[in-house]
Amino acid sequence: MNRLQTKSLRYRWSLWTSSVMVLTYILLSIVLFTALSQWVLANERSSAENTFSELESYMLSRGPELSVQDFERNTGLLNQFLSRNQSAKLLNADGVELVVINPTIPYPRFTGTLNEFERSTVADEDVLYKVTPFEIGSGSLYIAMSHSLENYSSMMSYLLLALLLFGVLFVILSGLTGYFLSSVLTKPLEELKLAMQENMLGNKQKVEFSYVGDDEIGQLTSEYLEMVKRMDEVYAMQERFIGNVSHELRSPIQAIEGNASMLARWGKEDPKLVEETVDVIQSETLKMKRMMETLLALAKEQELEQQQLSIDQVVREVVKELQQSNPDVQFEVSVEPIIITSSEILIRQALLNVIVNGIRYNEKSPFIQITGTSQNETYEIKIKDNGIGISKEQVERITEPFYTVDPARSKKLGGTGLGLTLVKQIVERSGGGLVIKSEHGVGSEFTLQLPINRI
C-alpha cells in the first residue's frame, strides 16, 4: 500500500508536469497558427488588392474610349496583370459575363458591388472576391476579380500537420521528462520512507541520504536527521531514567524488605531492634514518598492553575520557612517587588529545591544570597551559595534526572537526584529558563529567569 501511494505520487507529478508542458505547447501552437494564418491571409489580400488596383486603373483609364469588343481583343494584355491564382471578368448590370480572364478560378454568385475583398468558398475552394462598377463608352459595366486561396490553405494544412506531428513528439518527450523529474524528486522521499521504516523496526544504523541541497527536500531530510538525533538522545535519556528509577527504588525497597524480615524474626524479643527497624522503615518510606512525588511532578502534563503573584513576597516566605528549620543558615535577600503570572506552588517548589541544595551540599557555615531584578521583559532571581560547588563538566548534566555530583553524599543526605531536574522543568514550563554558574570548592549561582506578565 505504501509503495502504491509513493508510485501514485510519482505518477501524479509526471502527469501534472507533462500536462502543463503539453498545455503550454497547445497554447503556443494556437497562437503561432493564428498569427501565421492572419499574416499569410493579409499577404494574400494585399496581393489581390494590388492586382485589382492595377487592373481597375487600366480599365478606368481606357474604358470611356473602348468597347467590350476592344476588351475581348486585349485579353492577353489584361492577363498580364493577373497571377496564376487570380481571375477577372467583365459583367453587365445583370451579372452576365462579357469577358473572362483566366477562367480556372471559380466565382461566387454575383450580388452587386463589393468594395472590399470578401472571403468565400466556391466549389470547395477558398477565394477572395471583389466587384467594382466602371463606365465605358457604351454604358456601365462591372469588373469582378476572384483570388484563389489554395496556396494559403495548403500552407496552413502543412503547418497544422507539422504542429500535430511535433505535438505527438512533444507529448512523448514531456511524458518522459515528467517521469524523469518526478523520479529525481521522489528519490529522496523514497530514501526518507525507507529510513523511517528502518527506525520503526528498531534498527539503529546510521541514516544517510544521497540527496544534498538547500531546497525544501534537502531541508526536510536535514530536519528528519535532526529529529532522529533528538529522538536517540531522548531514548537514551529515557533508558537512563528508567534504569536510575529502578535502582533508586530498589534500594529502599530492599532496605524495607530486609528490616521487615529481621523484625519478623527477632522483633518480639528485642524492643530496641524494633525501634531501630521502624526508624529505618519510616526513613526509607519517606525517601520513597519524596521520590514518587517528585516523579509525579516531572511527569505531570498539565500545569497547575496560574495566578497573579508577588514574587518578592513568595521569596521572603520561602526564606522565612527555611530560616525556622535551619537557624544556622545566614540569608541575604534583596528582591525587587513585582507581580508576575505563574503557579505559586511550582515557583515555591523551585525556590525550595535550589536553596535546600545550597544548604545541604555545604561544608562551611551556609550563606545564601538571593537577589531579584527586572531585566526588560524578564524577572531574574539569582540564588548564590558558598557550598561545595560543581565542576564545569558536571554543570551541563546537573539537571538530568537522578544525576548527582557525589552519589555517596547524596545517598547519605537523602537526595534523589531529581531536585534540579524539577527546577528546570518548572522554570521552562513557566516560559523562562535556568542558568547555572558554579566553581568547585567556591559555590554556585542559580538564575531563575521568569517572564513578566505572562498569561
117-173 pLDDT, tens digit each: 998 888 888 999 999 888 776 677 888 889 999 888 899 999 999 989 988 888 888
pTM: 0.45
Q: Are residues 329 and 270 in the same domain?
A: no
Write down the pLDDT at residue 54: 85
Find the CATH number of the domain harbouring 342: 3.30.565.10
Write down the pLDDT at residue 253: 76
Indicate whether 291 belongs to any domain. yes
Range of the domain at 264: 217-299
Write down the pLDDT at residue 267: 67
Q: Are residues 141 and 7 in the same domain?
A: yes
Q: Are residues 311 and 292 in the same domain?
A: no
Q: Are residues 316 and 369 in the same domain?
A: yes
Write down the pLDDT at residue 27: 92
Q: Are residues 45 and 138 in the same domain?
A: yes
265: Cα within 13 Å, side-chain hemisphere: 6
Q: Are residues 322 and 288 in the same domain?
A: no
Write down the pLDDT at residue 6: 44
Write down the pLDDT at residue 300: 55
For β-strands 330-335 and 97-101, DSSP reports them as unpaired
Q: Are residues 397 and 253 in the same domain?
A: no
> Is residue 423 within 8 Å of 450, Cβ to Cβ?
no
Indicate whether 168 belongs to any domain. no
Find the CATH number of the domain harbouring 246: 1.10.287.130
> Is residue 119 within 8 Å of 128, Cβ to Cβ?
yes
Q: Are residues 344 and 368 in the same domain?
A: yes
> Is residue 303 within 8 Å of 282, Cβ to Cβ?
no
Q: Are residues 6 and 146 in the same domain?
A: yes
Cα distance between the two ends of the chain: 47
Among 114, 139, 156, residue at a domain's last position: 156
pLDDT digits over 347-391, tens only? 887 888 888 888 888 878 889 999 999 888 888 999 998 888 887
Q: Are residues 280 and 351 in the same domain?
A: no
- The residue behind cell 508536469 is 17
Intervals of the chain under pLDDT 50: 1-6, 301-303, 407-414, 454-455
CA distance linking residue 147 with residue 150, whole number of Å: 9
Find the CATH number of the domain harbouring 98: 3.30.450.20
Count structural domains, the chain.
Answer: 3
